Amino acid sequence: MNATLRPQTVVPAPKVTLGPRQPAARPAGKDGPAVDVRDFSFFYGPRQALRNLSFSIERKAVTAIIGPSGCGKSTFLRSINRLNDLIPGIRQQGDILVEGTSVYRPGTDLVSLRQRVGMVFQRPNPFPKTVFENVAYGPALNALVSRRDLPDLVERCLRQAGLWDEVKDRLDEPGTSLSGGQQQRLCIARALGNQPEVLLMDEPCSALDPIATQRIEELIFDLKQHYTIVIVTHNMQQAARVSDFTGFFDQGQLIEFDQTERLFTKPAHERTEAYITGRFG
Amino acid sequence: MNRRILRRVLSNFMVGLMIGAVVVALIPLFFILLNLVLKGAGSLSMEFFTRTPAPAGETGGGVVHALVGTLLIVGTASLIGLPIGVGAGIYCAEYPTSRLTWITRFVADVLNGTPSIVVGVFAWAWIVAQQKHFSALAGSVALALLMIPMVLRTTEEMIKLVPNSLREAALALGYPRWRTSLSVVIRTTLPGIMTGALLAIARIAGETAPLLFTALGSQYLSFDLDQPMAALPLTVFTYATGPYEEWHRYAWAAALVLIIVVFVLSLGARLAVRRRFAING
């Protein structure tokens, strides 16, 4: 985690800064932000879901997105790996850069983008295949590793997801036979299989019980050593517990973005304060 | 009037009506089976399954020519019809907004309602009349045409049952759309698609009308698809309308065999569904 505020040295041209509390952007390139959102707007047909978002997501840190239902949290998350592409009638303006590479430039290779940006969904959705096949599914696609090294990779991913000890004797059983919390960790392991740079999590605990939730949160804490994590959550305690930075969305706008501790203790905006104190949303 | 008693009486009356409907629906089926077994089982023997018919007027012989013929004609029809039907069904399910899908669905529904003898006439006009001789292949084409809309619609319905979250999971791992369809969607629905295929095969195995002026029927064991060929439904038709008492007995026995074949196929379809890999979500 690197939460120190540094002076802004490079500000991309279309970027709209949000005041002094925005975390400083580091120089572009490999030292720049992991995800750079540049004046990004998104429309479902005539309805605008995201309005001129501009902010940076720190590498190897957990960034939480909070906000009331329908504020565009999930839309934003699914814009990073372009999973919204399937919906007819969508369009967007501005751009998002993942590790310096444009997501929306014409000719973007969706396959490689989605390999670099993993995703974990709200409900555990393992494939109706074996535990092993679930994790091997991503890396097998473009032969990221040779067939011989696949078992090692699967083991490493399952270990990272904190699931190895529970499933090492059941690798041939269907992934759907695991418990809900285990299934979600299997889905995390599956996303790790691609060795992504960024891991998106869309309310990963909302379908889980408190104990399984705690395990996932501990896991998120471990994973940020290796991955940049963006997590959407409805649960403000969860955002406070797991994240280093928090962005508060309301009606498609980014109201406030700051270090988690500061956003929760000294919010700069009234609406943020109203939301985190439970007065609306 | 005590409303609780009234309610119970009404409830029992309705349940009684429904049981009555079920019994009425089952009675004809029961009598058909009973009749077939009583009149046909007596003629079943090793000879019946292994010999070709005896010359007219003599006793003995069997229907091996029709058994082989049905297997060949239905097998060829499946080879033609299943890939087309399944493929078109996958297309319709995966690209539901395409104009081609709308047209395909419409045509399939029309074709589904087309009397089978019309399809037979079509095959006659396009193959038999052109080649100037009857052939088993023409019969197979006619049966395949009947299969395609059935298989198409069942395949489409089965694929629609796959939860979208599964599709998104594969896409988020970087799988291109066509590979997502192939390796996740199709694999998940394979038992369902197989069921639809088996039921379609069972349906066309009993079709007589499309074969009347295509495969024509024959008294000899033949493996040549370019020549007229016997089939069980045709044999039933010929024997049942023939002048000899022995033929009538053979018609019953052949009908019994046909019913057993259809029954086994349907049972196989049921078992395939039951072993279906559980899908969550």
Residue A4: its pLDDT value, please? 45
Residue numbers of A between 124 and 143 with CB closer than 8 Å to B: 124-129, 137-138, 141-142
Which has the closest alpha carbon to B255: B60, B68, B78, B44?
B44
C-alpha to C-alpha distance for A153 and A165, rounded to whole angstroms: 15
Chain A residues whose CB is inside 8 A of the B171 CB are 83, 86, 114
Mutation for testing the A interface, residue in B94, B173, B177 having most A CBs under 10 Å: B173
3-state class percentages of chain B: helix first, strand second, coil last, to nearest 5: 75, 0, 20
- Which of A115, A121, A127 is opposite residue B174, by nearest beta carbon? A115
- String of b and e for B28-59 (b: at least 16 CB within 10 Å)? eeeeeeeebeebbeebbeeebeebbbeeeeee
pLDDT band with cut points at 50, 70 and 90 for residue A26: very low
Is the CB of residue A86 less than 8 Å away from at least one CB of chain B?
Answer: yes
Would you call A123 an interface residue with chain B, using a CB distance cutoff of 8 Å? yes
Average pLDDT over residues A12-35: 48
- Determine the residue type at B279: I
- Considering the four listed CATH numbers 3.90.1150.10, 3.40.50.300, 3.30.200.210, 1.10.3720.10, the one that applies to the domain covering A35-276 is 3.40.50.300
Query: Is pTM, for the whole model, over 0.90?
Result: no
> What local confidence, expressed as pLDDT, does residue A65 receive?
93
ipTM above 0.90, yes or no: no
Note the pLDDT of residue A248.
Answer: 93
Q: A90-98 and A35-44 as β-strands: parallel, antiparallel, unpaired?
A: antiparallel
Higher pLDDT, B69 or A12: B69
Task: Spell out which residues of chain A touch residue B187, defining contact as CB-CB under 8 Å.
Answer: 128-129
CB-closest option in A121, A128, A138 to B279: A128
Put simply, the chain A residues between 15 and 54 with a CB less than 8 A from any chain B CB are: none
Residues in B lying within 8 Å of A, measured between beta carbons: 97, 163, 165-166, 168-176, 179, 184, 187-188, 277-281
pLDDT digits (tens, 9 = 90+) for A156-197: 899 888 889 898 898 989 888 899 889 999 999 999 988 899
Per CB-CB distance under 8 Å, the chain B contacts of A140 are none
Separation of alpha carbons A103 and A83, rounded Å: 11
Which pLDDT score, from 0 to 100, does residue A188 have? Answer: 92
Chain B contact set for A137 (CB, 8 A): 170, 173
pLDDT in tens, A66-114: 998 888 899 999 999 999 888 888 988 999 999 888 889 888 888 889 9
Is A141's CB within 8 Å of B169's CB? no
* Residue in B172, B184, B277 nearest the CB of A81: B172
pLDDT band of residue A118 (cuts 50, 70, 90) is very high
Contact assignment for B97 to A88 by CB distance below 8 Å: yes
Closest CA–CA distance from residue B183 to any residue of chain A (Å): 10
Enumerate the H helices of chain A as residue ranges. 73-80, 110-116, 131-141, 150-160, 164-167, 180-192, 210-223, 236-242, 260-265, 270-276
Task: Give the residue, B199 or A6, on which the prediction is more confident.
Answer: B199
* Structural tokens at position B22: 């079920």
Token couple for B84: 């087309």
pLDDT tens digit string along A46-62? Answer: 999 999 999 999 999 99
Q: Do B173 and A124 touch (CB under 8 A)?
A: no
pLDDT for residue A244 is more than 90: yes
pLDDT profile of chain B (281 residues), mean per 10: 87 96 93 88 79 72 82 90 92 87 90 87 84 84 92 90 88 86 83 86 85 78 77 84 83 88 82 56 34
Residue of B165, B278, B279 with shortest CB distance to A121: B165
Which residues of chain A does B184 touch, with a Cβ-Cβ cutoff of 8 Å?
A: 127
The answer to whether B115 touches B209, Cβ cutoff 8 Å, is: yes
CB contact under 8 A, B171 and A125: no
A70: CB partners within 8 A, 6+ apart: none
Residue of A nearest to B188 (CA): A128
Beta bridge partners of A90: A44
Record: contact B173-A183, CB cut-off 8 A:
no
Q: Do B169 and A190 touch (CB under 8 A)?
A: yes
* Chain A, window 189-208: residues with a beta carbon less than 8 angstroms from a chain B beta carbon: 190-191, 193-194
Evaluate if residue A141 carries a pLDDT over 80: no
**A87 — contact with chain B (CB < 8 Å)?**
no
The pLDDT of residue A280 is: 67
CA distance A119 to chain B (A): 6
Interface test with B, best of A87, A90, A127, A190 (most B CBs within 10 A): A127
Banded pLDDT at A21 (limits 50, 70, 90): very low
- Residue-averaged pLDDT of chain A: 84
The single residue listed with the structure tokens 């399984």 is A212
Size of interface A-B (CB pairs under 8 A): 76
Average pLDDT over residues A260-270: 90
A144-160 pLDDT, tens digit each: 677 778 888 899 899 88
Please give the Cα distance from B150 to B133 (Å, whole number).
29
Say if the Cβ atoms of B175 and A141 lie within 8 Å. yes
Which residue of chain A has the CA closest to B166?
A125
Integer-rounded Cα Rg, in Å, for chain A is: 19
In this complex, the residue of A119, A128, A177 whose CB is nearest that of residue B172 is A119
| Residue whose C-alpha is closest to residue B169's, from A15, A109, A277, A133 | A133
List the one residue out of B273, B192, B271, B279 whose CA is nearest residue A129. Answer: B279
Q: pLDDT tens across B177-217, in order?
A: 888 888 888 888 888 888 888 888 888 888 888 888 877 77
Q: Which residues of A touch B280 (CB under 8 A)?
A: 124-126, 128, 176, 183
A178 touches chain B (CB under 8 A): no
Smallest CA–CA separation between A16 and chain B, in Å? 30
pLDDT band, very low/low/confident/very high, at A24 (cuts 50, 70, 90): very low
A208 contact residues in B (CB cutoff 8 A):
none
